[in-house]
Structures are given as C-alpha cells and as structure tokens.
Structure 1
Amino acid sequence: MPHLTTDEAAEAFLEDADLSTYDLSGMTLHSFEFAPKSRQVNLRFPEPLLAAVKARAAAAGMSYQKFIRLTLEAALRAPGPGASRP
C-alpha cells in the first residue's frame, strides 16, 4: 500500500486503484470515536493493575482512559456468553 499523507491523495489513489491486488489480510479493525462521551464512570483499580494499564496504553500511544474504553469495546465485540453488540 502506498503511504498517503492527505485525504486528497487517498481519494486520488482510490479513484483508480484495484484493491484486489493488495494483501489486506493484515488489516485490523479501528474504532473511530465519533460518539460524544456523555457519561462518566468511576472505577477503583488495584495499583499494580492500573500501572499495567497505563504502561500498555503508553506503549500504544494513547491515554489510559481511551485504552480502557477500547478494551471494553473489544470485549463486547467478542463472542461469548451473554454477548451483545452495542
């Protein structure tokens, strides 16, 4: 895949690109956070767990709050007992 740095470049690429020539098997789901955050939740964590969450979030380049939110979203997408799709 070419490295596209602008929306215009991406649009121009998609105009003529044959995406069937690319191996897209490594693609992963990305969550775009368009919904407003209208509710607040307060949680208590053991200090070692919070430290591990913050370290993992930092390694992923995001805030630990966003990391927790994305982790919960991923858990809700996974099939399992009582699973539902938001």
Structure 2
Amino acid sequence: MSETKLKQIPHFATDEEAERFVDEADLSEYDLSGFKPMQISRRGDDSLYSIRMPSQLLYRVDDRAREKNVSIDEYIMDLVRKDLGVA
C-alpha cells in the first residue's frame, strides 16, 4: 500500500494570496496537521477579537470615526450591528 505524501502549505505575501489559495486549492492534498483552532479570549460579556486590515483602510476607518466623534472600536461595532440587524 503506497502512502500519499501531503503537500506543505505555501507562504503568502498578502492576505489576498492566502484567500485565493484557500478558494482554489483542494485542501485535502495539504498537510494541515500544524494548524490549531483559533481561540477567542472571553472577558465577561465582552470578547476580544483581533483583525488585520490594510493600513490605508484603517486610516479611512479612523477618519470616519473621528468625523462621527467616536472611537474606532465604537464605529466598527456600529457597522457590524447595522449589518447584522442587531440593536
């Protein structure tokens, strides 16, 4: 019985490259043994989640939050609430 060797996940220069890879690749051909489930830190009723975004986008978010006289966190949470239809 021959054992099929799994491919290694390549390194990506950008998030867009990684997203394209996941969209197009057959992940069953790759060694995913080193991956671990993501952990979300929970503190009381609030949870902490970190997100990467291009700096130019973050600058625009910051500018818009300042226009509305709120913090970036408040502005982003408001956008998410509106999108999800949550009060």
Q: Under a length normalisation based on structure 1, what TM-score does the superposition of the two structures give?
A: 0.47
Query: Of the two structures, which has the highest relative contact order with CA contacts closer than 8 Å and spacing of 6 or more?
Result: 2
Structure with higher Rg: it is: 2
